[in-house]
A and B are shown apart, each in its own frame.
Chain A
Amino acid sequence: MTSSNWIKIIIALALGAALGVIYGWAIDPIEYTDVTPGILRADYRADYVLMVAEAHQSEQNSETSARRLALLGSESPAQIVTSTLEYAANNSFTQNQIILPQGLLTAMQTYQPQGNNAP
């Protein structure tokens, strides 16, 4: 086989690989259906933290709030709320939407886990 033919074969191989990658990434990518909350989009995460803060406002139960925040990942509850406050500051949240997580942050900063923290 001549070198010209080898080049044709290599080009065909590369073309096939490129088509395969395009198909697998863009046309029919793997669909995720059972994801964890850790990869929620930032605005959904922020809204989730806001919900926890709203509930905390009336419940005043740091244990419950910390358990709810743990859904979002392995960061400490205070870090999760801090990230949300940063997001809120950069995305024109209303005053009320900032005050509530600030209250939650204060509670999480003073919160000391006790006993079983299983969600």
Chain B
Amino acid sequence: MRHFLRSIFLHILIALLTGLGIGLAYSWFISPVTYVDASPAILRSDFKDQYRSVIAASYASTRDLARARARLELLGDMDPVGELSAQAQQMQASGESIEVVQLLAQLATDLQRGVVSIPATNTPFVAIVNTPTAEKLTTEEAPQIEATQPVEITPFPTSSFEQTPLAPQQLVTPTARPTFTSIPKPGTPFTLVSQDTICNIDLQPGLMQFTLIDSRRRQVAGIEIIVNWAEGEDHFFTGFKPELGNGYADFIMQSGTIYSVRVAEGGAFVSNIFVPTCTDPNGKEYLGGLLLTFQQP
């Protein structure tokens, strides 16, 4: 009797576990939960990149920073500005047109600064803000020039989806302050106004920093810089590190290599550039960096 009871209990247990396995196999593999109402946060990364590009293109048209920010939040990025900047750099490296790259860089810059820097336009644009000094590049934001006329900011109404977690309707955009903007005149060349050796042991050795400013000393994003050396050449643009300034760009030099720098579109040409040597207070030598400042006359 005892043996029989143990036997039937074992059979029931095995049947239960077998049923459990069948149920899990069915619900996980044969007929898993089907997503039909996905959110942008779970999109594949390449689709997220395209989504970001469209957000940036839409922002370039509407200049609605709050709405662009809300849309970016849908993607669930921990650091939306960083993602935009990284994507811009990747797209630039992959040969994407500068117009597309600039859209992303511009949105990253505006999000970083919290201001809408340029008016709606359908032309490639460059936002220009006041130039921080070289020493302040990493720590301070340039002050915005306030418009003398009060500007009405009319936010584009947010979609009034009942079930959507999209951007909340905003009657005012408190962070958006109007700024003067300018687009560099085509053909106005940048000239070298200063070339300073930077001796800071905390900076990466051989760091060559660039700051491009316009005639009103506001930083200029989207300007191509070309660095040449004996074995190669590199092209990059200002504005991809908005946290360091719209007109900022940098390049890592190698010790023992002579470089030349040219600002694209007829800008200044600077030759015979190399990594400077600095000395710390203990008399020990280390590799320093350079800061080149270019300005439109």
Given A55-B54, A91-B161; A12-B37 close (CB under 8 Å) = no
User: Which A residues from 30 to 73 make CB contacts under 8 A with B?
Assistant: 30, 32-37, 39-44, 46-48, 50-52, 54-55, 57-60, 68, 71
User: Which B residues from 37 to 63 make CB contacts under 8 A with A?
Assistant: 37-40, 42-45, 47, 50-51, 54-55, 57-58, 60-62
Closest A residue to B24 by CB, please name it.
Answer: A20
CB distance from B170 to the nearest CB of A (A): 14
Given A51-B71, A55-B57, A59-B122; A21-B159 close (CB under 8 Å) = no
Which residues on A sit within 8 Å (CB–CB) of B43? Answer: 34-37, 40
Contact of A23 among B16, B23, B37 (CB under 8 A): B23
Contact of B20 among A17, A54, A58 (CB under 8 A): A17
Q: Give the complex CA separation of A36 and B54 in angstroms.
A: 16
User: Which B residues from 48 to 84 make CB contacts under 8 A with A?
Assistant: 50-51, 54-55, 57-58, 60-62, 71, 74
Which residues on B sit within 8 Å (CB–CB) of A52? Answer: 54, 58
Report yes or no: A41 in contact with B37, Cβ–Cβ below 8 A.
yes
Which residues on A sit within 8 Å (CB–CB) of B159? Answer: 43, 46-47, 50, 93, 97
Report yes or no: B19 in contact with A13, Cβ–Cβ below 8 A.
yes
Which residues on B sit within 8 Å (CB–CB) of A23? Answer: 20, 23-24, 27
Given A39-B37, A55-B54, A91-B160; A12-B23 close (CB under 8 Å) = no
**Does A119 interact with chain B (Cβ within 8 Å)?**
yes
Report yes or no: B160 in contact with A92, Cβ–Cβ below 8 A.
yes
Which residues on B sit within 8 Å (CB–CB) of A43? Answer: 159, 161, 163-164, 166
**Does B156 interact with chain A (Cβ within 8 Å)?**
yes
| Size of interface on B: residues with Cβ below 8 Å to A | 54
Which residues on B sit within 8 Å (CB–CB) of A89? Answer: none
Residues of B contacting A: mostly? helix
Which residues on A sit within 8 Å (CB–CB) of B42? Answer: 32-35
Report yes or no: A16 in contact with B20, Cβ–Cβ below 8 A.
yes
CB distance from A92 to the nearest CB of B (A): 6
Which residues on A sit within 8 Å (CB–CB) of B71? Answer: 47, 51
**Does B17 interact with chain A (Cβ within 8 Å)?**
yes
Given A47-B159, A92-B160, A93-B160; A18-B38 close (CB under 8 Å) = no
Closest A residue to B8 by CB, please name it.
Answer: A5
Given A41-B37, A44-B164; A20-B22 close (CB under 8 Å) = yes
Which residues on B sit within 8 Å (CB–CB) of A35? Answer: 35, 38, 42-44
Report yes or no: A13 in contact with B162, Cβ–Cβ below 8 A.
no
Report yes or no: A58 in contact with B122, Cβ–Cβ below 8 A.
yes
Given A39-B37, A43-B159, A94-B160; A59-B57 close (CB under 8 Å) = yes
Which residues on B sit within 8 Å (CB–CB) of A92? Answer: 160
**Does B11 interact with chain A (Cβ within 8 Å)?**
yes
Q: Give the complex CA separation of A51 and B18 in angstroms.
A: 51
Given A47-B166, A119-B50; A34-B27 close (CB under 8 Å) = no
Which residues on B sit within 8 Å (CB–CB) of A91? Answer: 160-162
**Does B151 interact with chain A (Cβ within 8 Å)?**
no
Report yes or no: B51 in contact with A48, Cβ–Cβ below 8 A.
yes
Report yes or no: B15 in contact with A20, Cβ–Cβ below 8 A.
no
Q: Which residues of B contact A (CB under 8 A)?
A: 8, 11-13, 15-28, 32-33, 35-40, 42-45, 47, 50-51, 54-55, 57-58, 60-62, 71, 74, 120-122, 156-157, 159-164, 166
Q: Which residues of A contact B (CB under 8 A)?
A: 1, 5, 8-10, 12-25, 29-30, 32-37, 39-44, 46-48, 50-52, 54-55, 57-60, 68, 71, 91-94, 96-97, 119
Sample of 7 further A-B pairs with CB below 8 A, known A16-B23, A58-B122: A12-B15, A17-B19, A21-B24, A29-B28, A40-B43, A59-B122, A96-B157
